[in-house]
Amino acid sequence: DTEVTQTPKHLVMGMTNKKSLKCEQHMGHRAMYWYKQKAKKPPELMFVYSYEKLSINESVPSRFSPECPNSSLLNLHLHALQPEDSALYLCASSQSTGEGSAFFGQGTRLTVV
Amino acid sequence: GQQVMQIPQYQHVQEGEDFTTYCNSSTTLSNIQWYKQRPGGHPVFLIQLVKSGEVKKQKRLTFQFGEAKKNSSLHITATQTTDVGTYFCAGRGSYIPTFGRGTSLIVHP
């Protein structure tokens, strides 16, 4: 199984809503990532988890809250988002942060209204 | 910090023509990865280069890693309409890969 599964595929939320994005992989990868991608731009790193511990937070606003319940799962909790947060949110995993290529999920296309 | 520059930003070709995209890093890389993202899709891993001067081929795609491990290229021979998409390089310095801005390939039939 070389898949990273993300749910939901599409999400529309209001600025007062609370929602969560989910990511799952069963490749035994110990590094998991959240990226944000705006149209016609490269993926922009948000968070890195290594062995279920948050190792990098790229100065992301606190309205985005990551969580890694176990080695296969990664969540991104969303609260009080702004319209400019609308983007494609990509989850990825790799063997570790120091090696291995990243396998990306299909992403969640988020629209904040 | 580490920066990865990728050129060109866009490339229009006629079907059957060749295509090349280039990545240059401000620092020496431990490895470089290439990804393809189709319109409306997600990045898909193509290949990883690790050794200085390494050349790898996948059918019509040729990937090169420079001798100094600071630059890389992806060359597609005889493009097809299925090659349409954005090609990203991601250079790994000491820790996390840094993505180039991508080259969008448009193939005209």
In this predicted structure, which of A63-67, B20-24, B92-96 has the lowest mean pLDDT? B92-96
pLDDT band at A58 (very low <50, low <70, confident <90, very high): confident
**List of chain A residues whose C-beta atoms are within 8 Å of the C-beta of residue B95:** 97-98
Q: Please tell me the distance from the alpha carbon of residue A16 to that of residue B5, in angstroms, as a whole number.
A: 38
Which among A70, A62, A57, A64 has a CA at the least distance from the CA of A13? A64
Which pLDDT score is estimated for B92? 82
Q: Is B59 on the interface with A (CB under 8 A)?
A: no
Q: Please tell me the distance from the alpha carbon of residue A102 to that of residue A15, in angstroms, as a whole number.
A: 31
Judged by CB atoms closer than 8 Å, whether chains meet at A102 and B90 is answered as yes
B32-to-A27, B50, B75, B91, B94 alpha-carbon distances in Å: 21, 7, 15, 4, 12
With 80 as the cut, is the pLDDT of residue A70 above it? yes
Peptide bond into B39 cis (omega under 30): no
pLDDT band at B93 (very low <50, low <70, confident <90, very high): confident
Q: Which residues contact A59 (CB under 8 A, 6 or more apart)?
A: none
Supply B25's token pair. Answer: 């890093």
Among A56, A88, A90, select the one facing B96 at the smallest CB separation. A56
With 80 as the cut, is the pLDDT of residue B94 above it? no
In this predicted structure, which of A9-18, A26-35, B86-95 has the lowest mean pLDDT? B86-95
Which pLDDT score is estimated for A1? 57
Which pLDDT score is estimated for A9? 96
Among B42, B96, B104, select the one facing A105 at the smallest CB separation. B42
Q: Please tell me the distance from the alpha carbon of residue A47 to that of residue A35, in angstroms, as a whole number.
A: 7
Q: Is B43 on the interface with A (CB under 8 A)?
A: yes
> Which amino acid is located at B5 in the chain?
M
Which pLDDT score is estimated for B1? 66
Which pLDDT score is estimated for B100? 93
Minimum Cα–Cα distance from B47: chain A residue: A101
pLDDT mean over A20-42: 95
Q: Are strands B103-108 and B10-14 parallel, antiparallel or unpaired?
A: parallel
With 90 as the cut, is the pLDDT of residue A14 above it? yes
pLDDT band at A100 (very low <50, low <70, confident <90, very high): confident
Among A40, A43, A48, select the one facing B99 at the smallest CB separation. A43
Answer whether A69's CB lies under 8 Å from A88's CB: no
In this predicted structure, which of B35-39, B46-50, B76-80, B89-93 has the lowest mean pLDDT? B89-93
Supply B41's token pair. Answer: 């899709």
User: Within 13 Å, how many C-alpha atoms sit on residue B26's CB side?
Assistant: 8
Taking phi over 0 as left and psi of -120 to 50 as alpha, with beta for the rest, B16 belongs to left
Residues facing B91 on adjacent strands: B32, B98
Supply A105's token pair. Answer: 């999920």
**DSSP-based three-state secondary structure for B81:** helix
With 70 as the cut, is the pLDDT of residue A2 above it? no
With 70 as the cut, is the pLDDT of residue B95 above it? no
Which pLDDT score is estimated for B85? 97
In this predicted structure, which of A70-84, A88-102, B11-25, B63-77 has the lowest mean pLDDT? A88-102
In sequence order, which ranges of A3-91 are alpha helices (DSSP H)?
none
Which pLDDT score is estimated for B97? 79
User: Within 13 Å, how many C-alpha atoms sit on residue A34's CB side?
Assistant: 28
With 70 as the cut, is the pLDDT of residue A105 above it? yes
